[in-house]
Amino acid sequence: MSLSSPVTRRGAFVKLGLLLNGLAGAFLAVPVFRYLLSPTTREPEGADRWISLGAALQFPIGETRLASFRNPVVGPNDGPTANLP
């Protein structure tokens, strides 16, 4: 058996503090990593998808056109209000 120096009170508290700081850092890092990785791990929902309004030739540069489309995020009771001019 080898002789080792006894653990001092200060050394024990330093190790305990490092352990608790590491746990707190890991606890706080999880939401940050989930936020950073969320675009690669989730499917885009209706509000995040592109809406096809037609060919680009229908919208000449410098002219304002009114495009009609259906709201991609609708509920069963939306009815005609889901149709946007």
Number of domains in the chain: 2
Residue of 13 and 84 predicted with greater confidence: 13
d(CA 85, CA 75): 18
2 part of a folded domain: no
Residue with tokens 């919208």: 59
Residues 52 and 84 placed together within one structural domain of the fold:
yes
84 bridge partner residues: 69
| 10-69 residue pLDDT tens | 999 999 999 999 999 999 999 999 999 887 877 766 667 788 888 888 888 999 988 888
In a domain, 82, yes or no: yes
For residues 70 and 85, membership in a common domain is answered with: yes
Would you call 84 helix, strand, or coil by DSSP? strand
**Cα 31 from chain centroid (whole Å):** 9
Specify if 69 maps to a domain.
Answer: yes
Q: What is the pTM of this model?
A: 0.43
Q: What's the domain range around 63?
A: 46-85
Helices (H), the chain: 9-41
**What are the φ/ψ torsions at residue 48 (nearest 5 degrees)?**
-100, 0
Look at residue 1 and tell me if it is in a domain: no
